[in-house]
Structure 1
Amino acid sequence: MLGVEDAGRCVMVEYLVIGAGPAGLQMGRFLHRAGRDYVILEAAQQPAAFFRRFPRHRVLGTDDNSLFEGVPFSRYSKRSFPNADDLVRYLEDFARPLNIRYNTPVSDIAQFRARHVIIATGNRPHTPEIPGVELAETYATASTDPTEYAGKRVLIIGRGHSAFETADNIAATARVTHTVGRTVQRIVKDGNGFRATIDGSGELRYDKVIVCAGFRRDTSLDASHAHVLAGDSIKAIRHAARALHRTLEAEHHGVPWPHRKLRNRPDALAATIATRAHAIPQGLADVVVPQGQHALLYDEMPLRRKNGFVVTSTQVRHYRKDELLGVERRLHRKPLERFFSQQLAVPCIA
């Protein structure tokens, strides 16, 4: 069990979730609905601390920002590229019924005795290993006022969303804007400006250099006994959280993994898998287990399951007790029907 020191008393809970961003909130909602004893610890004084700072120009890259078991995000914004403040309001409302302790930073999970620890600390800006990169400004600190770049030559290091939103913001005022990826070899100070050595272009001079190299997951609290919950989008996060919660429920509370029955025929399996495969998030798999006249479909399981037909967004693998029997990468009905026919050793249905 977990011991959390709170004003001189020890509070015991079964599940400790670290972080009140989308991942921690989604896991908290699952635990709350299941009636489990849990607490979410958050270093900031409010939820969604990451999205209060990022993206810097306050425009999200997608409108798919809903979490499971809450109202849809579309009630907060119907834009294709919503304002980040709309997501903050959405996550604030999502967090209200949950047991969250704010202003509670965690520096070492070893200080807690927990039955289940879930690390949902999210991302932080990434700084590439380039000699002299410490001389540059960063995506987190550079000014968002376009007038500050008027008439200047600006080098932006990065090829992702943060780099291109920064470039778009200053393009109308900057004299020159170069956006490059991994080709920067060195940065040195040159008077009030900089000289950057770029593979294929030689040494070029800039007035400003901004590192916009994206984000990496915060691994500072990782431990072998803890569960890590992360994803590169809110869609990926919500599905990963559901898979982890279902795993914990099955392993520790005797709650069977949700499943449905299919007819154990090549045409029926092919029709279902052709529809499902492209909706399966990265890192998860549907698992189909034949049982006589029927087959059981377990959706979005962790990839470690290797029995039956394991379906990802790119392929179907057939296992028998961890032994690989066959692979099909054409996820269309006819190829899948032939594959299931061969693997089940029954003729195709015309």
Structure 2
Amino acid sequence: MLDVIVIGAGQAGLSMGYYLKKEGYDFVILEGEKRIGDSWRNRDDSLVLFTPKSYSSLPGMKLEGDKNAFPTKDEIADYLEIYTVHFSLPVHLETTVHKVKKTESTFEVSTDKGVFLSKHVIIASGAFQKPFIPSISQHLSQEVFQIHSSQYQSPKKIPDGPVLVIGGGNSGTQIATELAESRDVTIAISQPFKFLPLTIIGKSIFHWLEKIGLLFAGTDMRRGLWFQKQRDPIFGFEF
């Protein structure tokens, strides 16, 4: 029986793997993709993170290059793969978890590759696995081309004509900005935009959030609880 099963080999899952191995636990990391980092590789072609490399690295190994540079999605994907190999993390690829069952002292994790038993389970599969698509989409004409932001690749793969982007988060605004270079774009939002600069006086906004004690404040602290409740801002003013 394993000590721990980690579900998901993204940043959180691999970071947990690093610390579990450091402490000598017997564990595995279960990942549904064919290759480490594929959840990043499959994102839109032009995607660049708004967190600089110094704030995008995992424990024990820094991202190569200028620490103030903003990594591309492919850089992150390759970095995660290199990280896994470097620390010899026990990742089981192409292993989809279907069910987690708790008995008296054991967790049974059922997958398409069999059942794994462990004393503990850590869920690191992310919060956005299932796309949210408004129900109104079902009532639109079949002539209207529709995709979720997770399926977007580039303007070349979108039919000619005006575009409606529903949602004003960072993904929606980045896609809308890119599409607006070649066509008319309308963006539908439920709340006014809230912007934060990427940098202040030459340093990342995340540097300043750390300096004032907000970035890593836990929910056991009043300021951490307040910060967590804030609506996600749009980083940068390109939009």
TM-score class, shorter: 0.5 to 0.7
Q: Could you tell me which residue of structure 1 aligns to residue 179 of structure 2?
A: 170
- Cα contact 2:44–2:154 (8 A) shared by 1: no
Q: Could you tell me which residue of structure 1 aligns to residue 195 of structure 2?
A: none
Q: Could you tell me which residue of structure 2 aligns to residue 140 of structure 1?
A: 150
Q: CA distance change for structure 1 residues 54 and 35 in 2, over 3 Å: closer, same or farther?
A: same
> How far 1:276 moved relative to its partner?
7.1
> How far 1:76 moved relative to its partner?
4.5
Q: Could you tell me which residue of structure 1 aligns to residue 119 of structure 2?
A: 115
Q: Could you tell me which residue of structure 2 aligns to residue 62 of structure 1?
A: 51
Of 129, 132, 140, 1:127 maps to 132
Q: Distance in 2 between matches of 1:42 and 1:139?
A: 22
Is the counterpart of residue 100 in structure 1 residue 91 in structure 2?
yes
- Cα contact 1:15–1:116 (8 A) shared by 2: yes
Q: Could you tell me which residue of structure 2 aligns to residue 28 of structure 1?
A: 17
Query: With structure 1 as the length reference, what TM-score do the two structures score?
Result: 0.47
Task: Find the residue that maps to 2:39 and give its secondary structure.
Answer: helix
What is the aligned-residue RMSD (CA, Å)? 2.8
Show structure 1 runs of 5+ residues with no match. Answer: 1-11, 184-234, 236-274, 286-302, 304-309, 316-350
Of 137, 158, 172, 2:167 maps to 158
Q: Which 4+ runs in 1 deviate beyond 6 A?
A: none
- Cα contact 1:47–1:92 (8 A) shared by 2: yes
Q: Report the count of equivalent residues.
A: 186
- Cα contact 1:277–1:311 (8 A) shared by 2: no
Is the counterpart of residue 278 in structure 1 residue 213 in structure 2?
yes
Q: CA distance change for structure 1 residues 125 and 167 in 2, over 3 Å: closer, same or farther?
A: farther
Q: Distance in 2 between matches of 1:147 and 1:37?
A: 45
Q: Distance in 2 between matches of 1:182 and 1:23?
A: 30
Structure with greater strand percent: 1
> How far 1:143 moved relative to its partner?
5.1
Larger Rg: 1
Give the residue type in structure 1 aligned to 2:181: A
Q: Distance in 2 between matches of 1:55 and 1:137?
A: 12
Query: With structure 2 as the length reference, what TM-score do the two structures score?
Result: 0.67
> How far 1:66 moved relative to its partner?
0.8
Show structure 2 runs of 5+ residues with no match. Answer: 102-107, 110-116, 141-145, 192-205, 227-239
Task: Find the residue that maps to 2:98 and give its secondary structure.
Answer: coil
Give the residue type in structure 2 aligned to 1:93: I
- Cα contact 2:131–2:150 (8 A) shared by 1: no
Give the residue type in structure 2 aligned to 1:48: G
Q: CA distance change for structure 1 residues 147 and 92 in 2, over 3 Å: closer, same or farther?
A: closer
Q: CA distance change for structure 1 residues 50 and 142 in 2, over 3 Å: closer, same or farther?
A: closer
> How far 1:13 moved relative to its partner?
1.0
Q: Distance in 2 between matches of 1:50 and 1:134?
A: 30
> How far 1:138 moved relative to its partner?
1.7
